[in-house]
Amino acid sequence: MTTTEPKVSDPYPTRVGDQPRLIPRVDPTVWGQRPGPIEAATLRSYESKGYLTVGGLLTPTEVRFYRQELEKLATDPALKADERTIVEKESAQVRSVFEVHQISEPIRELITQPRVLDRARQILGSDVYVHQSRVNYMPGFTGKGFYWHSDFETWHAEDGMPAMRAVSMSIALTDNYPFNGGLMVMPASHRTFVSCVGETPDDHYRASLKEQEIGTPDQASLTQLAADHGIDQFTGSAGSALMFDCNIMHGSANNITPYPRSNIFVVFNSMENTLRAPYSARKPRPPYIASPTFTPLQNPGL
Ligand code: 6CS
Ligand code: FE
């Protein structure tokens, strides 16, 4: 197997040149006409903005239940030593736990429910599998944000994801205020691929999951995108959810408030878009960050 995909067929070259480039997207945002729970107007808005919100995806009782689940995960001594647990750069506080759908049965079950799974299938127009799952804690006072980036740029370069046919869902388990590290997105930026400079270091994920530097867009490109599209801030009460296209430009600020911003984060990839060799890295990232097994998710009870 080649260590990287042939460049000639790659519509989204990145980390290969010495100049950043803005490349028009060649993939659709909503794939096909598959029916599902997302209303037509909301789906059209997703197509144009690259994200949608779902108010009250979880009931307050469910929010309390999953918050307890997150607390269990964060305080499990065995898990604390597990490589799937990422701690904050400057403190030993848990920042994220990866592959959470394999670790937590309640979370695995939640993401197979139609209110979650059928939304992802509708957007991607196919069966889907989990490319990545994590819980993010973004603790109060010390939670560090993520600089501007496109997830797809990383998933293409380092995981070998061929096309922009993946969607993320972030389910808020605490209230998302404008001031506690809430996600910022540049609406409609998903239609432009920002080709980044710099070469992927081996084992890049060890640094990038704490603070990404390689594969982050240059300031001129970000200035251009912000001028073209503006910046929207996702706010929503605990229980609400945000679904966003794999290529939308997004980031979050540090959380210096007393209010944590915790969420369950799942990336659904289409079964028609399974991973190949990385497009710009010598070897793929570990399975708990980019699943190498492509098992389509089924609704419960099937
Ligand atoms: O590298 C990744 O796959 C992860 N990093 C960020 C900042 N967002 C997407 C994803 O969870
Ligand atoms: Fe991201």
Which residue owns the Cα nearest ligand 1 atom 7? 146
Question: 179: how many CB neighbours lie within 10 A of its CB?
Answer: 14
Distance 55 CA to ligand 1 centre (A): 24
pLDDT bin (cut points 50, 70, 90) of residue 13 is very high
Q: Is any ligand 1 atom within 6 A of the Cβ of residue 132? A: yes
Q: Considering the chain, what percentage of its residues have pLDDT values greater than 90?
A: 81
For a pocket test of ligand 1, which of 86, 212, 243 has the largest count of ligand atoms closer than 8 A to its C-beta?
212
pLDDT at position 9 is 84
Q: Is any ligand 1 atom within 6 A of the Cβ of residue 216? A: no
Distance 36 CA to ligand 1 centre (A): 27
With tokens 């736990």, the residue in question is: 97
pLDDT bin (cut points 50, 70, 90) of residue 302 is low
Q: Is any ligand 1 atom within 6 A of the Cβ of residue 146? A: yes
Is residue 182 within 8 A of residue 261, CB to CB? The reply is yes
Nearest CA to 38 out of 236, 243, 240, 239 is that of 243
Question: Which ligand has the nearest atom to the CA of 266?
Answer: 1
Give dist(CA 52, CA 271) in Å, integer.
22
Per the document, the length of the chain is: 302
Does residue 212 surpass a pLDDT of 90? no
Distance 301 CA to ligand 2 centre (A): 32
Give dist(CA 166, CA 168) in Å, integer.
7
Which residue owns the Cα nearest ligand 1 atom 10? 151
| CA dist 80 → 77, 97, 222, 250, 272 (Å) | 5, 9, 36, 28, 35
Give the chain's domains with CATH numbers: 21-25+38-270 (2.60.120.620)
Give dist(CA 75, CA 194) in Å, integer.
38
* H helix intervals, 4-113: 40-49, 60-75, 77-80, 100-103, 105-110
Does residue 76 surpass a pLDDT of 60? yes
For a pocket test of ligand 1, which of 152, 200, 205, 209 has the largest count of ligand atoms closer than 8 A to its C-beta?
209
Is residue 166 within 8 A of residue 155, CB to CB? The reply is yes
pLDDT bin (cut points 50, 70, 90) of residue 1 is very low
Lowest mean pLDDT among 79-93, 173-187, 228-242: 79-93
Mean pLDDT, rounded, for 58-67: 98
What is this structure's pTM?
0.95
pLDDT at position 216 is 86
Q: Which residues surround ligand 2, an ion (CB under 5 A)?
A: 151
Is residue 124 within 8 A of residue 268, CB to CB? The reply is yes
| CA dist 266 → 129, 199, 201, 208, 244 (Å) | 10, 27, 25, 18, 11
Which residue owns the Cα nearest ligand 1 atom 5? 209
What average pLDDT does the chain have?
Answer: 93
For a pocket test of ligand 1, which of 98, 167, 208 has the largest count of ligand atoms closer than 8 A to its C-beta?
208
Distance 302 CA to ligand 1 centre (A): 31
Distance 219 CA to ligand 2 centre (A): 17
Q: Which helix (H) or strand (E) holds 166?
A: strand 166-172
